[in-house]
DNA sequence: GTAAAAATTGACCGGTTGGTAAAGATTACA
DNA sequence: TGTAATCTTTACCAACCGGTCAATTTTTAC
């Protein structure tokens, strides 16, 4: 076969694995900052330190790169929600969830923005992934409903509770430019994060305890 | 003068005013759904029911259209925050603010998404507008600080409180696709809005009362 | 060492996009 | 009604963009 389209059936060489990672890292940077449409293959190739045809030797299309990133991200993105333990103490489980989500916004802002970009544009490329997300949420909502029934947490709408946790935590990644513009040089990065964590704890704990 | 570039010095004819509005409405639709980079002049012209060169007779560039929209939006966007009354009752002022912001997310989702798009991409075209925003926030934060000092509301970080209100309300416009995917056909539009309003009231009132 | 496989590159292509030129159609107004 | 200003359209351009091709260089396997 004359054209062994790199990422075909099975991983092959050392170089392939390395370069594919380099490309994905570069693409994450570019997609997060410019969106899918705004990103060009040339930009990604530049960021990855290779030529455009060379990049296209490893991934067949721009969309293929995006697809891999989205799949990876959504998976790790939902880990904190999966980690909520039915047998744990409700309020401390929720507190941990918020803290984990906030840590992800701090540590993986590009992943958050890439995802936000996709949703904002109407999620044209991730319909089925959204279905997986719905299934997981539905499952966890049942847990919250049980806790509410048992009087272990306040009687609120669990769907909207999840939305509000997503919104408040991801805000610090997705709207970082705005947050920085408003806070100015008031606080350094880490202090800012701790302020946010403390505030969200206060808000949600007293908002959700029975 | 042979080329009276429509929107030049002063508004002129009836047709100019009408067409400019049609274009802005069309551009809002397209920018909100595709972002600045993703939107094409052809798309906007189509949506506005005119040819591309005709559109460019009224606005010199794509960026000029975007600029006008952003300016208009930011202005109305901040109205609810401006409306917070120092002499009012703190918790009811905040409740009204949340309700107004949620109504805007419901009634002007395209405006919200256009703005979100801009921030997500690093706000390249609206640096000075961000400064205005900071000034207004700083001003209102002083009001909250006073209320806290007077023991009329809980001692939380007012900046992060504002962020959390922005995040939770705008979430329903910006991440609408996700919200709909998760909620499925569970509720119609208006019921959904009322559920969100009730939940946010519960969350913020008990989270913020002294 | 050598030859085949894998990796890289420059040159290129067709379609799209932001924007222009210039001529024709319409409107406002004397 | 005539005409000047305004409005609209057709044809077009140069830059960009996603992707291909063929040829060259590098790596791997023996």
Q: Could you read off the pLDDT of A9-20 as tens digits, one per residue?
A: 445 677 788 999
Contacts of B166 in chain A (CB under 8 A): 171, 175
pLDDT interval class at A5 (50, 70, 90) = very low
From residue B138, give the alpha-carbon distance in Å to each of B28, B42, B83: 29, 41, 15
pLDDT of amino acid B163: 98
Q: If you average pLDDT over residues B54-60, what whole number do you get?
A: 97
B113–A contact, CB cutoff 8 A: yes
Mean pLDDT of chain A: 92
Task: Check: CB of residue A192 under 8 Å from CB of residue A109.
Answer: no
Q: If you average pLDDT over residues A91-114, what whole number do you get?
A: 97
d(CA B81, CA A210): 31
B150–A contact, CB cutoff 8 A: no
Q: Do B182 and A203 touch (CB under 8 A)?
A: no
Percent of chain B at pLDDT exceeding 90: 83
Selecting from A117, A130, A177 the residue whose C-beta is nearest the C-beta of B123 gives: A177
Query: Would the pLDDT of A7 be above 80?
Result: no
List of protein residues whose beta carbon is under 7 A from strand D: A 13-15, 39-42, 52-53, 56, 60-63; B 1, 4, 6, 12-13, 15-16, 19, 50-54, 57
Q: Which of B168, B150, B146, B153 is nearest to B207 (CA)?
A: B153
d(CA B94, CA B148): 13
pLDDT of amino acid A11: 54
Q: If you average pLDDT over residues A168-193, what whole number do you get?
A: 92
Query: Would the pLDDT of A3 be above 60?
Result: no
Query: Would the pLDDT of A163 be above 50?
Result: yes
Task: Check: CB of residue A117 under 8 Å from CB of residue A31.
Answer: yes
Q: If you average pLDDT over residues B163-168, what whole number do you get?
A: 98
d(CA B140, CA B163): 13
d(CA A103, CA A115): 16
Task: Check: CB of residue B37 under 8 Å from CB of residue A37.
Answer: yes
Q: Do B200 and A164 touch (CB under 8 A)?
A: yes
Percent of chain B at pLDDT exceeding 70: 93
Contacts of B121 in chain A (CB under 8 A): 33-35, 38
Q: Could you read off the pLDDT of B6-33 as tens digits, one per residue?
A: 434 445 667 788 999 999 999 999 999 9
Closest CA–CA distance from residue A1 to any residue of chain B (Å): 38
Query: Would the pLDDT of A203 be above 80?
Result: yes
Q: If you average pLDDT over residues A116-141, what whole number do you get?
A: 93
Mean pLDDT of chain B: 92
pLDDT interval class at B187 (50, 70, 90) = confident
Task: Check: CB of residue A103 under 8 Å from CB of residue A125.
Answer: no
Query: Would the pLDDT of A160 be above 90?
Result: yes
Q: Could you read off the pLDDT of A37-49 as tens digits, one per residue?
A: 999 999 999 999 9
The residues near A149 (Cβ < 8 Å, ≥ 6 apart) are: none
Task: Check: CB of residue A126 under 8 Å from CB of residue A77.
Answer: no
Mutation pick from B175, B186, B205 vs chain A, by most beta carbons of A within 10 Å, is B175
The residues near A35 (Cβ < 8 Å, ≥ 6 apart) are: A117, A121, B35, B37, B38, B117, B120, B121
Nucleotides of C under 7 A from a protein CB: 5-11, 16-22, 27-28
d(CA A10, CA B112): 44
Q: Which residues of B111-122 are buried (b: 16+ CB within 10 A; e: fewer)?
A: bbbbbbbbbbbe
From residue A203, give the alpha-carbon distance in Å to each of A207, B94, B158: 6, 14, 12
pLDDT of amino acid B8: 43
Measured between CA atoms, the residue of chain B closest to residue A122 is B177
Query: Would the pLDDT of A6 be above 50?
Result: no
Q: If you average pLDDT over residues A109-132, what whole number do you get?
A: 93
pLDDT of amino acid B74: 93
Q: Could you read off the pLDDT of B77-134 as tens digits, one per residue?
A: 999 999 999 999 999 999 999 999 999 999 999 999 999 999 999 998 888 889 999 9
Q: If you average pLDDT over residues A155-169, what whole number do you get?
A: 98
A157–B contact, CB cutoff 8 A: yes
């Amino acid at each position: 076969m004359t054209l062994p389209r790199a990422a075909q059936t099975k991983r092959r060489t050392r170089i392939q694995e390395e370069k594919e990672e380099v490309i994905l890292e570069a693409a994450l940077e570019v997609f997060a900052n410019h969106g899918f449409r705004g990103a060009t293959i040339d930009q990604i190739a530049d960021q990855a330190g290779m030529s455009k045809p060379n990049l296209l030797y490893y991934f067949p299309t721009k969309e293929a790169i995006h697809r891999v990133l989205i799949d990876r991200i959504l998976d790790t993105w939902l880990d904190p929600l999966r980690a909520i333990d039915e047998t744990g103490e409700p309020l401390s489980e929720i507190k941990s969830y918020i803290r984990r989500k906030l840590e992800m916004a701090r540590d993986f802002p590009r992943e958050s923005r890439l995802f936000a970009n996709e949703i904002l544009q109407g999620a044209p490329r991730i319909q089925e992934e959204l279905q997986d997300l719905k299934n997981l949420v539905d499952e966890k909502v049942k847990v919250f409903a049980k806790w509410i029934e048992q009087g272990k947490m306040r009687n609120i709408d669990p769907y909207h509770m999840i939305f509000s946790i997503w919104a408040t935590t991801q805000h610090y990644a997705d709207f970082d430019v705005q947050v920085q513009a408003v806070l100015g040089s008031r606080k350094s990065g880490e202090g800012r994060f701790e302020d946010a964590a403390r505030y969200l704890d206060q808000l949600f704990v007293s908002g959700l305890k029975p």
